[in-house]
Amino acid sequence: MADEDFETGDLFQDPEGYYPEEEKPTFAEHQMLSGQTVRVRLVGSHPLYGNLLWNAGRTSAHYIEERADTLTRDKDVLEIGAAAGVPSIVSAIMGARTTVMTDYPDLDLVQNMQYNADLALDKIPSQSKLHVEGYKWGSTVEPLLAHIPSTGDEKPVSFDVLIMADVVYAWREHGNLIKTMQMALKKDPSAVALVIFTPYQPWLLPQTEKFFPLAESSGFTVTKIFEKLMGDVLFEDDPGDERLRRTVFGYELRWAPDQLESNA
């Protein structure tokens, strides 16, 4: 029997509206204290929160800009959980030698971070290098350290500054965050990890705050540096204490003196 061609019509065509439309990326702007504007693309409705410009990220960027001369200029900076990457971009604009912007190694997130890094290139001085990497907390930091220029001596390269904005809410990941700090932060008294966050779910604040005694037991000192009340909440319809949901908390974590002595 000879083969015959059969017309299938629209049998295998999904009906219109069968799949929800993918949300298009949106853009947001961060106004630097210098008057410059950092424009970033956000990731649609991505479940890993690349779709928002968080208060802690904006506050971190302002904190870095205000102190760039002593905090980040000519230094090596790593951002963990960067999302849109505003603090990384501001660090690079303000003259950090190396800035590595990281978030979970999801293709959409990493590509979006790279897009934002490229978008800011005209604002970044030529001597400042901004890199993008996917990174899972607690995993090896060797690919991140590889971006730091070698000093030519035998001392291992590591980062002078870690930016950790709105990451400690993930309390189940506290151990992995501290592991990353231990591997990535330079063993130097001036090296610092900036931990800045807002308790968007205030009832979980006691879980979030467990990060700090865990860090202290892991070789770090913890210093609260500010508590800033924002004008508006980020999520108006969320439950819980409104004042806490408007507040950004800032901490500095540095190596404890005994950790530096053991490294001498």
Contacts of 189 (CB under 8 A, 6+ apart): 254, 255, 257, 260
Indicate whether 188 belongs to any domain.
yes
- What pLDDT was estimated at residue 261? 76
- SS3 state at 223: strand
Residue with structure tokens 């693309």? Answer: 41
Indicate whether 21 belongs to any domain.
no
Domain count, the chain: 1
Indicate whether 49 belongs to any domain.
no
Q: Which domain holds residue 151?
A: 54-263
Buried residues in 1-24 as b, exposed as e (16+ CB within 10 A): eeeeeeeeeeeeeeeeeeeeeeee
DSSP code per residue over 130-189: EEEEE--TTS--HHHHTTSPP-SSSSPP-BSEEEEES-TT-GGGHHHHHHHHHHHB-SST
Indicate whether 6 belongs to any domain.
no
- What pLDDT was estimated at residue 151? 76
- What pLDDT was estimated at residue 22? 61
- SS3 state at 82: coil
Q: For the domain that residue 240 is a member of, what is the CATH number?
A: 3.40.50.150
Q: What is the pLDDT along the chain (264 residues), one digit of tens a residue?
A: 555 555 555 555 656 665 556 667 789 999 999 999 999 999 765 545 555 678 999 999 999 999 999 999 999 999 999 999 999 999 999 999 999 999 999 999 999 999 999 999 999 999 999 999 999 999 999 999 999 998 777 677 999 999 999 999 999 999 999 999 999 999 999 999 999 999 999 999 999 999 999 999 999 999 999 999 998 887 778 889 899 999 999 999 999 999 997 665
Indicate whether 45 belongs to any domain.
no
Indicate whether 2 belongs to any domain.
no
Indicate whether 98 belongs to any domain.
yes
Indicate whether 88 belongs to any domain.
yes
